[in-house]
Amino acid sequence: MSPAPTQHVETVDFIMIYIVAISVVLLLGITAAMIYFVFKYHRKKGHQPVDIHGNLLLEIVWIVIPTLLVLSMFYYGYTGFREIRDVPEDAYIIKVQARMWQWEFNYDNGKKSDTLYVPIGTPIKLELFSQDVNHSLYIPSFRIKEDAIVGRTNYLFFKPEQAGSYDIVCAEYCGLKHSMMYSKVVVLPETQYTAWYNSNAPETLKAGIGN
Amino acid sequence: MMGQTAVAVKADNFYHQSTNKYSGILSWLLTIDHKRIGLMYMVSIIFFFLVGVIVGVLMRLELMAPGKTIVDAQTYNALFTLHGVIMIFLFIIPGLPAIFGNFFLPIQIGARDVAFPRLNLLSYYLYVIGAVLALLSLVLPGGPIDTGWTFYIPYSVRSTTNISLPLLAAFILGFSSILTGLNFITTVHRLRAPGMGFFKMPLFVWATYATAWVQIIATPVVGITILLVIIERLFGVGIFDPALGGDPILFQHMFWIYSHPAVYIMILPAMGVVSEIIPTFSRRTIFGYTAIAMSSLAIAFVGYLVWAHHMFTSGMSDTARWIFSLLTFLVALPSGVKVFNWVATMYKGSIDPQPPFLWVMAFIFLFSIGGLTGLVLGALATDVHVHDTYFVVAHFHFVMFGGTGTIFFAALHYWFPKMFGRMYNVKFARISVATFFIGFMLLYFPKFIMGYMGMPRRYYDYLPQFANLQMISTIGSWILSGTIFFIVGYLLHALFKGPKAPSNPWGGVTLEWHIQSPPIMENFKTIPTITHEPYDFSQLKEMKNA
């Protein structure tokens, strides 16, 4: 398996496996108990049913243990979430304009692009804006998304660790061509990125990060 | 409509006793009998359910292969909106309370009818008016609504399709729901038979009672929200529309303040039915009666406080996100308590796995998957990834369809002999549970995988890596919808040609099993005095009809 495109992907996948593992144990336990009881206490076997009205200890056990389990899930979910909310001060800001049905990425030298080019190893903060209806910028490979909403400045944060090209999709329903609102995030090595960044950029703003 | 002669078993039952001066169709349309109103709801609701199923199958056909398969994108967008609106507002919210609550809640507490029978009939007609307006909006100029059932602003003020009319329909349907809730609360408080204390009520009554409070308290919020959207569309006031200075996030809050509690309107009555069926077929008392009853109230209460977990990526404050995440995990606990108590009720029982019990077993498995995958959605880091993907679609279909839908069939098979005095083909019923389960898993389980892979919901088209799983899902939809139509077929056949059912075919002990099938008008010749606990099977020896 190739290394994860961002550190955060490993975090999210770990939390997923943690929750699913506990869930599978619970599901199998419940299902096995149910099926076992149906065979063991089948009416054909002629058992006399026993009226058991309840058991306080059991009720406490199956409230307390699940409470501890879900609190641990909450905790992991929260700490994993902080990873993408605590943006370092030196993060590189790219403004994203969403509209029906395309993405436009605006760089600080005035460069516009319909594909998101980013340098590897640099913390990236995307500031999300919308021109018309709600959209949501979703990068499945990075396990992140955030809505773009008119009148608000929402943001997304990631730090790409692997060069490559990853899908960007719109995750908030936005009308006729919602399912065609794709783009790509292309993670480039620093030198290639700088070359792209400086190519055909508006003259007045050419003093970007590359210089 | 249920023909009067078709289901005649005994002359002296409610099919032959009109509450008004009319006979024939008017004796039904103007009836104030809770059982007849329940059956009228049944015909209407099952009709819309089948329409919703057909729309769902059309969606699956479109998604069978990448690119255009049977319809264009605009039609697909209308189809998923229609599927959601029909299934939520016309099937699953009213489903169990309006049909089985109406029919059995009064009987189970030893009452002759609900507290306000005329209001009950009004609720039914509000449902019909709402449904007709929703259908009308499909054929009027402008075209069918394409916003999704969530009607998110700003798209719902931008779209040129018919938005205001279906919103008005939802508004009216809300009043139907509120009046039903009001009726049930008053009925439970005022009309219990002598000796029927709150803690002697069957758990279906407890669950329907908890549901009724949610219906009364939460539904007005969506009423207000819907009116504001209509006003926004007509007059452009600037409440929600950001172009006019409004706040689209305010709309999302108001929408989910109702629509999340509405999830509990959908599931709580189903949980009540499960608590009836398991003791009957295990022939022993329920394990943890008080825990189950109180967990219904806990779900109804905490269920109000989790709405913003639908908005974890909307841009609301990080503080709000973790608070709602924490509350969401807490609401999972009472549901877990119920599942554990249900399984414990099978312990040392005398289990006869008849079709209603088999449906409940399928429910416990499917609903548990639905509930447990909710934990993935409750945790912030994982929700940010799978929010608005097929993972969510799979999750709520497991909860709503695998949960409430499965129990709709369980309730139908459990109470069918009581309601109609006839029995269905048990072998067909057993086969149906199996094929339902297979079709269901094929249809919805691949969506968990696609969701985690990054397949967004409400997509007319998709990337090639999803093609195989989409195909499997579509094959599942054929098996599932085929099973549903098969069930409707053998139940209709049983309605007219089925053998007469005894008045207590399962050996149940709650009050409906003490009276004849079908029941007489006003249910009881003399109101019973309650001396037993609700699931005291020692009564079976005394009951003549057991």
Looking at the domain assignment, is residue B101 inside a domain? yes
Start-to-end CA span in chain B (Å): 31
Q: Which two tokens stand for residue B244?
A: 């006019």
Does residue A169 share a domain with residue A66?
A: no
Does residue A141 share a domain with residue A68?
A: no
> Where does a domain end: A58, A83, A108?
A83
Residue in A2, A19, A150 with CA at minimum distance from that of residue A80? A19
Query: Residue A37: its chain B contacts at CB < 8 A?
Result: 343, 346-347, 349, 351
For residue A21, give the CATH number of its domain.
1.10.287.90
A88 in Cβ contact with B324 (< 8 Å): no
Residue in chain B nearest A150 by alpha carbon: B242
Q: Which two tokens stand for residue B61?
A: 């056909």
Does residue A112 share a domain with residue A77?
A: no
Quick one: pLDDT band at residue A203, thresholds 50, 70, 90? very low
Question: pLDDT at position A202, please?
Answer: 56
d(CA A149, CA B340): 43
Looking at the domain assignment, is residue B499 inside a domain? yes
Query: Residue A78: its chain B contacts at CB < 8 A?
Result: 322, 325, 379-381
Contact A15 B379 (CB under 8 A): yes
> Where does a domain end: A62, A83, A104?
A83
State the Rg of chain A over Cα.
Answer: 25
Looking at the domain assignment, is residue B50 inside a domain? yes
B114 in Cβ contact with B184 (< 8 Å): yes
Looking at the domain assignment, is residue B181 inside a domain? yes
Does residue A113 share a domain with residue A79?
A: no
d(CA B522, CA B106): 9
Q: Which two tokens stand for residue B363?
A: 């429910």
- Interface with B, mutate which of A173, A184, A185 (most B CBs under 10 A): A173
Question: pLDDT at position A205, please?
Answer: 43
Shortest CB distance from B364 goes to which of A34, A74, A146?
A34
Does residue A98 share a domain with residue A201?
A: yes
Quick one: pLDDT band at residue A119, thresholds 50, 70, 90? very high
d(CA B248, CA A48): 61
Question: pLDDT at position B354, please?
Answer: 96
Contact B353 A42 (CB under 8 A): yes
Contact B368 A27 (CB under 8 A): yes
Residues of chain B with pLDDT under 50: 1-10
Whether the pTM exceeds 0.90: the reply is yes
Query: Residue A144: its chain B contacts at CB < 8 A?
Result: 384-385
Residue in chain A nearest B534 by alpha carbon: A53
pLDDT digits (tens, 9 = 90+) for B329-366: 999 999 999 999 999 999 999 999 999 999 999 999 99
> Where does a domain end: A63, A83, A103?
A83
The domain of B210 spans 25-542
Does residue A194 share a domain with residue A136?
A: yes
At residue A208, does pLDDT exceed 60?
Answer: no
Residue in chain A nearest B358 by alpha carbon: A38
Looking at the domain assignment, is residue A211 inside a domain? no
Does residue A200 share a domain with residue A98?
A: yes
B113 in Cβ contact with B92 (< 8 Å): no
Does residue A150 share a domain with residue A109?
A: yes
> How are strands ordered across the β-sheet holding A124-130?
A112-113, A102-106, A92-99, A124-130, A154-158
Looking at the domain assignment, is residue B15 inside a domain? no
Count of residues for chain B? 546
Shortest distance between the Cα of B153 and any Cα of chain A, in A, equals 7
Query: Residue B387: its chain A contacts at CB < 8 A?
Result: 145, 171
The domain of A144 spans 92-205
Looking at the domain assignment, is residue A1 inside a domain? no
CA distances in angstroms from A162 to A120, A156, A190, B452, B465, listed in the order given: 7, 18, 12, 21, 21
Looking at the domain assignment, is residue A167 inside a domain? yes
pLDDT digits (tens, 9 = 90+) for B240-275: 999 999 999 999 999 999 999 999 999 999 999 999
Does residue A106 share a domain with residue A200?
A: yes
At residue A105, does pLDDT exceed 90?
Answer: yes
Quick one: pLDDT band at residue A171, thresholds 50, 70, 90? very high
Start-to-end CA span in chain A (Å): 36
- Interface with A, mutate which of B63, B151, B340 (most A CBs under 10 A): B340
- Interface with B, mutate which of A145, A153, A177, A181 (most B CBs under 10 A): A145
Question: pLDDT at position B478, please?
Answer: 97
Does residue A96 share a domain with residue A78?
A: no
pLDDT digits (tens, 9 = 90+) for A22-71: 999 999 999 999 999 999 999 998 888 999 999 999 999 999 999 999 99
Query: Residue A41: its chain B contacts at CB < 8 A?
Result: 282, 346-351
Contact B379 A37 (CB under 8 A): no
Assign A67 to helix, strand or coil. helix
**CB neighbours of residue B237 within 10 Å:** 14
Does residue A201 share a domain with residue A104?
A: yes
Shortest distance between the Cα of B292 and any Cα of chain A, in A, equals 10
Burial class (CB in 10 A: 0-12, 13-18, 19+), B451: buried
Average pLDDT of chain A is 92
For residue A104, give the CATH number of its domain.
2.60.40.420
Quick one: pLDDT band at residue A201, thresholds 50, 70, 90? low
Contact B454 A70 (CB under 8 A): no
Does residue A128 share a domain with residue A201?
A: yes
Average pLDDT of chain B is 93
B284 in Cβ contact with B537 (< 8 Å): yes
d(CA B373, CA B377): 7
Q: How many domains does chain B have?
A: 1
CB-side neighbour CA atoms (13 Å) of B276: 36
Q: How many domains does chain A have?
A: 2
For residue B207, give the CATH number of its domain.
1.20.210.10
Looking at the domain assignment, is residue B193 inside a domain? yes
Looking at the domain assignment, is residue B203 inside a domain? yes
Shortest CB distance from A174 goes to which of B155, B242, B348?
B155
pLDDT digits (tens, 9 = 90+) for B369-406: 999 999 999 999 999 999 999 999 999 999 999 999 99
* Structure-model confidence comparison of residues B282 and A208, the more confident one: B282
Burial class (CB in 10 A: 0-12, 13-18, 19+), B29: middle
CA distances in angstroms from B263 to B256, B316, B399, B469, listed in the order given: 10, 22, 9, 28
pLDDT digits (tens, 9 = 90+) for B29-70: 999 999 999 999 999 999 999 999 999 999 999 999 999 999
Quick one: pLDDT band at residue A200, thresholds 50, 70, 90? confident
